[in-house]
């Protein structure tokens, strides 16, 4: 009986530790949210409504920009319906948008303000599947490499950089839903550089090897 209790004891201790860890995590999350709410209320009371909440009200220019984005995105889907399989041709959005554009006729849109919709319109469903599969497969491989990489491969600063780099790529891909940032060569090159730095292996060189290489061989 005593032996059985002793055998169960480590399991009970492990279960208690897991419960304590979960409770501490829940308390930390709740405390963080409560602190965020308190800080937000204090800022609103201290700075005033006009300097805090009212700043998030959209201006006339922002409303016009929103209308422009919806117009470009709607035109992209209209182009795709006209050329569903192969699209109108990559890079031809500005040339064919006037065929389907019905509103805001004083402007000609060079891009759809949605990279995914523009790729669908100009390359068709076949090109979109190839592009999306390539893009998100690469993102999944980068994510897997960063998450599964052992902690011994670098310091916490390097791990933080890798997670920040991965998050910046996710943010850029999300932003592509509302703009044409991936069609800008500088943005695409920057994301490629970030992706390469995110998955680059850490190379350490022993100090003894350069000293041996520098020492003359008299044999």
pLDDT in tens, 81-99: 999 999 999 989 988 988 8
Q: Answer yes or no: is 2 within a domain.
A: no
| pLDDT band at residue 59 using 50, 70 and 90 as cut-offs | low
Q: Answer yes or no: is 219 within a domain.
A: no
Does the pLDDT of residue 6 top 50, yes or no? no
Whole-number Å distance between alpha carbons of 113 and 161: 30
Parent domain of 42: 9-57
Does the pLDDT of residue 73 top 90, yes or no? no
Do 128 and 163 fall within a single domain? yes
Do 38 and 122 fall within a single domain? no
Do 108 and 49 fall within a single domain? no
Do 103 and 48 fall within a single domain? no
pLDDT on residue 116: 93
Instruction: Using the CB atoms, write b or e for 140-162: b if 16+ within 10 Å.
Output: eebeeeeeebeeeebeeeeeeeb
Do 68 and 147 fall within a single domain? yes
Does the pLDDT of residue 17 top 60, yes or no? yes
- What integer is the mean pLDDT of 180-184? 87
Does the pLDDT of residue 63 top 60, yes or no? no
CB-CB neighbours of 82 under 10 Å:
13
Whole-number Å distance between alpha carbons of 108 and 72: 9
Task: Give the alpha-carbon dihedral of 89, 94, 95, 97, to 10 degrees.
Answer: 90
Question: What angle do the packed helices 115-148 and 185-199 form, to 10 degrees?
Answer: 10
Q: Answer yes or no: is 67 within a domain.
A: yes
Do 74 and 153 fall within a single domain? yes
Do 114 and 155 fall within a single domain? yes
pTM above 0.75, yes or no: no
Structure tokens at 57: 């009200």
> Is 199 within 8 Å of 154 (Cβ atoms)?
no
The end-to-end CA distance of the chain, in Å, is 74
């Amino acid at each position: 009986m005593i032996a059985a209790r002793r055998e169960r004891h480590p399991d009970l201790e492990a279960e208690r530790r897991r419960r304590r860890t979960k409770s501490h995590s829940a308390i930390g999350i709740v405390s963080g949210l409560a602190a965020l709410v308190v800080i937000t209320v204090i800022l609103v009371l201290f700075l005033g409504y006009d300097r805090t909440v009212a700043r998030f009200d959209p201006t006339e220019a922002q409303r016009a920009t929103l209308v422009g984005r919806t117009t470009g995105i709607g035109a992209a889907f209209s182009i795709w319906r006209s050329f569903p399989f192969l699209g109108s041709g990559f890079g031809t959005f500005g040339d064919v948008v006037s065929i389907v554009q019905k509103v805001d006729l004083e402007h000609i849109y060079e891009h759809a303000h949605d990279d995914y919709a523009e790729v669908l319109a100009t390359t068709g469903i076949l090109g979109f599947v190839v592009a999306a599969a390539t893009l998100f497969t690469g993102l999944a491989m980068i994510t897997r490499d960063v998450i599964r990489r052992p902690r011994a491969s670098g310091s916490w600063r390097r791990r933080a950089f890798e997670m920040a780099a991965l998050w910046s790529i996710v943010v850029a891909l999300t932003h592509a839903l509302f703009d044409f940032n991936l069609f800008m060569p500088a943005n695409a090159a920057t994301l490629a550089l970030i992706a390469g730095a995110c998955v680059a292996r850490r190379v350490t060189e022993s100090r003894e090897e350069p000293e041996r290489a520098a020492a003359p061989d008299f044999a």
